[in-house]
Homo-oligomer: A and B are copies of this chain.
Amino acid sequence: MSVQPVLINGTWHPSQGTQTFQAVNPATQERLPEVYPVSPWSEIEEAILAAKRVFAETSTWSGDRFAAFLERYADRIDAQAAALVALANAETALPVEPRLAKAELPRTTNQLRQAAAAARDGSWLRPIIDSKANIRSIFGPIGPVVVFGPNNFPFAFNGISGGDFAAAVAAGCPVIAKGHSSHPGTTRLFAVEAHEAARETGMPAGFVQLIYRTAHADGEKLVSHPAIGATGYTGARETGLVLKGAADRAGKPIYLELSSINPVVVLPNAIAERGAAIADEFTGSCLMGTGQFCTNPGLVLALAGPATEALLESVGQKFASAPVGTLLGEGVLKHLAAGITTLRSAGAEVVAGGATGGGKGFSYRNTLLKVAASRFLKNPAALQTEAFGNSALWVLAENLDELMQVLETLEGNLTGTIYSANDGSDDAHYNRVAPVLRRCVGRLLNDKMPTGVAVSPAMNHGGPFPATGHPGFTAVGIPMSIQRFAMLHSYDGVRPQRLPAPLQNKNPTGQLWRLIDGTWSTGDVTA
């Protein structure tokens, strides 16, 4: 049995570990042939010490050098697109077209290139110059970063190619990637390209490292190690909270994307005006990718009544007739089934679906649930259980006061959406709903479903706990996502020639935006 090597300290070498694992094709439920190692602590420690040595070398580098690596890496990914798509399809059952080939892969290289542009133009540095006091500040890299990728985006959130990786590198941080066990082959392919790109662009050995799997206790030691600057984690809530506990105790920032049910409020006159269109939009958004999006609309709030009942019935028919997709794995299937059981035990009724099967491989019928708001209010914690996958719960309130009570019970979420009539007839309701929703979500939407997460500088893919660990940061959107891996550096009375170039009087590129004595400018400091 040949076990895949790990990428540590600049070389691919055999793992010291004795345990192994294999991925499973979710569509066939068969094991894939490649065998991957579980890395022991000795190996993880070697990676940490390598990252520490690298950071001592790169911490003063200018952004161009990281940009060159990111751009070369993006080009190499493009050249390997066919292989990546084929392997990711085998490991995740996500469709080749359009999902993997036309959407997620281009998005991934686009993120890497946007991160490169930010590393080059310094838009994340936020230089502030107080010329009178000669105090100057700028963001710098926080140190070696650990990235744990999730199962649901094998490219765009992969530990060694996704948004956290791109942001950490753009900040100038070496990365130790921990691949997700459900798609190790895809992750390995990325690591091969990352390693080659790093060599081609002169990055020190160990700038990018990969391990596939560790014991949970070693994961805790990793994120809390003194040499680690910060961690990015996207994945299951339970595991994330354990890592958060370890990192927090060591005073190490950890950015988490844990769970979100993404409430959608559909106001009554929007239903009257365009109920059919809303039914289509909701169904498309909720079932896309078999519902396995962080921003999947899992909770809908509406006022009870004939129009809403008719809308719900129509959505139920669409759910029943839509093809049932394959889930990412057995774990996702079990988690979804358990979540739906919890919701039903707490009083949710099945409108459509509600049972395992219906599709190829690991699958669960497209499931629509409903519950009266009065019932929801009796057990809001259970009825906010995330049933990650192709399911949603509709909550029907007798009146707006009751709907507002439901909103007041909601935990932090990534997104909150309000559909309202175009003629303004829902505006009084909107004005009550929006401020309450605003306080518990990172992104507020009008009249569109939340599953599209544009890589825009104004995006917030974040929100209050438990959606994430801190509501001031976003995982998507450049340059803001880079801030997570940054440390504030102030220079007080430091001699001019010793300042980093972006803080010297002369603007290093003539294009870098700097806040000079209260004014944003691309000019020089005229002292």
Contact = CB atoms under 8 A, between A and B. Distances in A.
Contacts of A439: 55, 59, 143
A397 to B, nearest CB: 19
Contacts of A82: none
A248 to B, nearest CB: 4
Nearest to A136: B458
A389 interface: no
A443 B415 CA distance: 37
A518 B493 CA distance: 31
Contacts of A140: 438
Interface in A373-428: 412, 415
Contact of A457 (B128, B434, B484, B487): B128
Nearest to A254: B248
Contacts of A56: 435-436
Q: Which of A56, A430, A489: most chain B CB closer than 10 A?
A: A489
Interface in A103-128: 123, 128
Nearest to A515: B457
Interface string A436-476: 10110011111110100010111110101110011111100
Interface size class of A (residues with CB under 8 A): 35 or more
A460 B490 contact: yes
Contact of A438 (B59, B136, B486): B59
Q: Which of A415, A490, A491: most chain B CB closer than 10 A?
A: A490
A512 to B, nearest CB: 11
Nearest to A500: B438
Contacts of A477: 137, 490
A519 B456 CA distance: 14
A412 B227 CA distance: 12
A456 B133 contact: yes
A518 B462 contact: no
B472 A142 contact: yes
Contact of A493 (B445, B487, B493): B445
Nearest to A140: B438
Given A490-B460, A515-B457, A520-B513, A251 B59 contact: no
Given A133-B456, A253-B472, A490 B443 contact: yes
Contacts of A519: 513
Given A443-B492, A474-B488, A435 B59 contact: yes
A464 B488 CA distance: 9
Interface string A316-351: 000000000000000000000000000000000000
A457 B518 contact: yes
Contacts of A495: 446-447
A253 B444 CA distance: 22
Nearest to A470: B253
Nearest to A485: B472
A498 B418 CA distance: 12
Q: Which of A123, A439, A520: most chain B CB closer than 10 A?
A: A439
Contacts of A450: 492
Given A142-B471, A472-B483, A498 B446 contact: yes
A217 interface: no
B488 A434 contact: no
A135 interface: yes
A489 B458 contact: no
Contact of A490 (B430, B434, B458): B458
A445 to B, nearest CB: 5
Contacts of A474: 488, 490
B460 A137 contact: yes
A252 interface: yes
Nearest to A486: B472
Nearest to A520: B520
B472 A460 contact: no
A223 to B, nearest CB: 13
8 contacts: A55-B439, A130-B457, A248-B248, A415-B492, A444-B489, A446-B498, A447-B493, A471-B487
Given A60-B435, A129-B458, 11 more contacts: A56-B435, A59-B439, A60-B438, A128-B480, A130-B457, A133-B454, A133-B456, A251-B469, A445-B492, A457-B518, A460-B489
Interface of A: 55-56, 59-60, 123, 128-130, 133, 135-137, 139-140, 142-143, 244-245, 248-253, 412, 415, 430, 434-436, 438-439, 442-448, 450, 454, 456-460, 462, 464-466, 469-474, 477, 480, 483-484, 486-495, 498, 513, 515, 518-520
